[in-house]
Amino acid sequence: MRNATLEDYVCPPANVNVVNPGAAPEVKPISLDDAMEIAHFFHAQLNERVTADQWARLLMPPWEDGSAPNRGFQLVADGTVVGACAAVYSHRDIEGEGRAVCNLAAFCVLPDYRPHSVRLVRALLGQRGYVFTDFSPSGNVVAMNERLGFRHLDTAGRLLVNLPSPVPARVRVTDDPAVLSARLRGPDADAFRDHRQAAATRHLLVETDAAYAYLVYRRERRKGLPLFAVPLYVGGERDLLRMAWPRVGAHLLRRGLPFTLAERRLIGFTPSGPGRTFEHNRYKMFRDKGTDGASLDYLYSELTLVEW
């Protein structure tokens, strides 16, 4: 649920058409037929830099198998959308167990309907049997999530400066989709297949003749600058990724990304090299009594589907 205005649980006040604020809005599931209307709502009220078509991709992810119960929930007053909480569904292997996951992906409520905001989230959380994730809460949404039973993921890690580095002949680094498709196996192959068309993902393979490491990352803005690579998933041999990290950084630099924000929990190690450590990255949260969240990655979420 990402946007600075979520600090107040609302959308920006600009372009607001007030629809009888005294009426209690109805909470309804978002269906596929509603997707474009909700996408236009998010574009107009949540983030105009993200087009309606881009928002629509959040509501229609490329890995869908038809089992998602909805696309989230919406607030409707007098036939007009006045709020929405989008959801992204998936089936994941978490600590060796197959689990259904519901990712709270985007959240926006018009100011006059602020008192009904929590109704949207409770509608999602009322669905039984899911691990719930929220990988981009901000402001007061963090406190709201805590009250609703969400816990924080460990986001400590290192901000790295990506520098040029030679690549030994035995180590190959590539983002060629044909090479990735041919080399990846098992869950890594599934992740690549499902996210190959996801708008915010980038894919990187480090390989030798004997082994490979697979990195999925996104380009992210910090202080308005789209210069940061943020890992979302690591597959294959982490030791190979650790050994080849200077070469990974050089590859990212050639792609216009001079910095990497690498969370230690996610990648499994702390890369060496110039940079600085941090104890807290942007908040990421989850709700489930059956796991401590240590093995959660950021695939199948808004972080893979929307660039902002």
Tens of pLDDT along 222-264?
989 999 999 999 999 999 999 999 999 999 999 999 999 999 9
- Taking alpha carbons only, the member of 291, 274, 15, 82 closest to residue 164 is 274
Tokens representing residue 88 in the block: 């992204």
Residue 102 has pLDDT above 70, yes or no: yes
SS3 91: strand
Residues across the chain: 308
| Strand ordering across the sheet containing 130-134 | 26-29, 72-77, 80-94, 97-109, 130-134, 285-287, 151-152
Percentage of residues of the chain with pLDDT beyond 70: 93
For tokens 């881009």, the residue is 54
Using an 8 Å Cβ cutoff, are 269 and 275 in contact? no
SS3 263: strand
- pLDDT for res 8: 39
* pLDDT band for position 17 (cuts 50, 70, 90): very low
- pLDDT for res 44: 96
Burial of 27 (0-12, 13-18, 19+ CB in 10 A): middle
- pLDDT for res 1: 47
What letter does residue 282 receive in the DSSP assignment? S
> What's the pTM?
0.90
- pLDDT for res 308: 85
- pLDDT for res 15: 45
The tens digit of pLDDT for each residue in 62-76 reads 998 888 999 999 999
- pLDDT for res 182: 98
Residues of the chain with CATH 3.40.630.30: 4-149
Domain 4-149 classification at class level: alpha beta
- pLDDT for res 168: 75
- pLDDT for res 22: 57
Task: Tell me the angle at which helices 35-45 and 52-59 cross, rounded to the nearest 10 degrees.
Answer: 130
Per-chain mean pLDDT for the chain: 91
Residue 141 has pLDDT above 80, yes or no: yes
Q: What is the mean pLDDT of residues 282-289?
A: 95
- Lowest average pLDDT, out of 16-20, 79-83, 218-222, goes to 16-20
* pLDDT band for position 20 (cuts 50, 70, 90): low
Using an 8 Å Cβ cutoff, are 244 and 229 in contact? no
Alpha-carbon torsion angle 226, 304, 85, 292, nearest 10: -110
Helix, strand, coil shares of the chain as percentages rounded to 5?
A: 30, 30, 40
Q: What is the mean pLDDT of residues 120-133?
A: 95
Q: What is the mean pLDDT of residues 155-183?
A: 93
Architecture of domain 157-281: 3-Layer(aba) Sandwich (3.40)
SS3 96: coil
- pLDDT for res 10: 45
Which CA distances in Å does 288 have to 12, 120, 129, 153, 283?
Answer: 31, 19, 9, 12, 17
Phi-psi region of 140 (alpha: psi -120 to 50; beta: other; left: phi over 0): alpha
